[in-house]
Chain A
Amino acid sequence: QKEVEQNSGPLSVPEGAIASLNCTYSDRGSQSFFWYRQYSGKSPELIMFIYSNGDKEDGRFTAQLNKASQYVSLLIRDSQPSDSATYLCAVEGVVAGGTSYGKLTFGQGTILTVHP
């Protein structure tokens, strides 16, 4: 069973629409959740992180976390062609003793295409 699961897509949305990216995770003890964007041939770059249930907004991006249902999502409003990339969900778990040493588990990523 995959620890972090994402729909690989591709997800295609028209310019100006809302793109919705979803991620589920298996470790109920996970504490922190990250969304990275990766353009083709480039390294991942952090978009947002979230650790509390609910919504977190940053510009056109909104991260949503529901720990009871073990899912985290990313909404991109007013999608632009420049948003076309692979979006990686990453989950930081907890090791024995309640501390974390920064181990992130990544999903395989969702390819987003925004067409004009």
Chain B
Amino acid sequence: ETGVTQTPRHLVMGMTNKKSLKCEQHLGHNAMYWYKQSAKKPLELMFVYNFKEQTENNSVPSRFSPECPNSSHLFLHLHTLQPEDSALYLCASSQDLGGGLDTQYFGPGTRLTVL
């Protein structure tokens, strides 16, 4: 247990569905991240929130919409996804001190399958 939880752990959805992924961190961190991990590809950073403000949007399609209501919770809203969006979606958090060494702790991930 890293102190970062994600729900659901598995999700199967059709291309016309709307769903949301939830992440919660219990570590008192101020930065949260969404990553996508596809087979045989490096982890891809999608979004970064620092003190609830989005500081990075790594050219992610608009069918992925993040929401960070407070520094402990992070959501990823999904709509009209494509089969190639099937992947493991990982949430991470860190205590961003602004000087490097921002050790990130990962949640267990949500395995998403888009039919």
**Which residues from chain A sit less than 8 Å from chain B, CB to CB?**
4, 31-32, 34, 36, 42-46, 49, 51, 88, 90, 92, 94, 99-109
Q: Which of A31, A94, A104 has the most CB of B within 10 A?
A: A104
Question: How close is B101's CB to chain A, nearest CB, in angstroms?
Answer: 5
Do residues B43 and A43 form an inter-chain contact, with CB atoms below 8 A?
no
Residues of chain B within 8 A of A51, CB atoms compared:
100-101
Query: When the two chains form their complex, are residues A88 and B98 in contact, meaning their CB atoms are under 8 A apart?
Result: no
* C-alpha gap A68/B48 in the complex (Å): 29
Interface residues on B, range: 20 to 34
Can you give 8 contacting A-B residue pairs, CB < 8 Å?
A32-B102, A43-B88, A43-B106, A43-B107, A44-B106, A101-B55, A103-B48, A106-B42
Complex CA distance for A31 and B109, rounded to whole angstroms: 27
Question: Footprint of A on B, CB under 8 Å?
Answer: 2, 31, 33, 40-43, 45, 48, 50, 55-56, 88, 90, 94, 96, 98-109
